[in-house]
Chain A
């Protein structure tokens, strides 16, 4: 079945520095890769997504890159701020379902 591995499980970054979270997936037919941010006790919130026809997508301080050959994709957050502290989940899938990674707890150190 589908499997998504996510690293690191925890990440501490000084405010203003960049954070990078990486995921690998197993299903070569996958073509949709969203990233969700989850604050404590809250819903997963979509922050950015990418489809397999592009290699990179950027939205202000957040960017995602996709390497379909290697079956991995990454989330990049630049100029980190305290409000970026949360758990981040990658996922892969489509209309039928999403398979989530195990999550990265990002802590921004003021």
Chain B
């Protein structure tokens, strides 16, 4: 059964540095998403992407964040200048319609 994949599994960075988190959605899916989960808390929506553009974004997804689908398979989340509070697990998800399947996540630690 196809799954969403994400790299890296862990990313440690210094405050102020840029990070790029990578995702490969399920191949025939049309909608792509990023969520984050701070340790011990609920999953929070960041952004959704459809037809090569952002379809919805949350208040968390400010100017420091951007998403891109650089080719036919990858979907990336860039954080331009990381803050301590960006430390979290970042999950990519994809769907054909409303049923979303999650990747294994990237644990981002900002020091």
Contact = CB atoms under 8 A, between A and B. Distances in A.
A51 B98 CA distance: 10
Contact of A46 (B35, B44, B99): B99
Contact of B99 (A49, A89, A99, A101): A49
Contacts of A46: 99-101
Interface residues of B, number: 24
Given A95-B50, A96-B48, A96-B55, A102 B104 contact: no
Contacts of B104: 42-43
Contact of B45 (A95, A97, A102): A97
B91 A43 contact: yes
Interface string A20-62: 0000000000001010100000111110010100000000000
Contacts, number: 55
Given A43-B91, A44-B102, A45-B102, A98 B45 contact: yes
A72 B25 CA distance: 31
Interface in A71-93: 89, 91, 93
A100 B58 CA distance: 13
Interface in B1-52: 31, 33, 35, 41-45, 48, 50
Contacts of B55: 95-96
Interface string B74-105: 00000000000000000100010111111111
B103 to A, nearest CB: 6
Contacts of A102: 41-42
B102 A43 contact: yes
A94 interface: yes
Given A89-B42, A102-B42, A103-B42, A96 B56 contact: yes
B42 A32 contact: no
Interface of B: 31, 33, 35, 41-45, 48, 50, 55-56, 58, 91, 95, 97-105
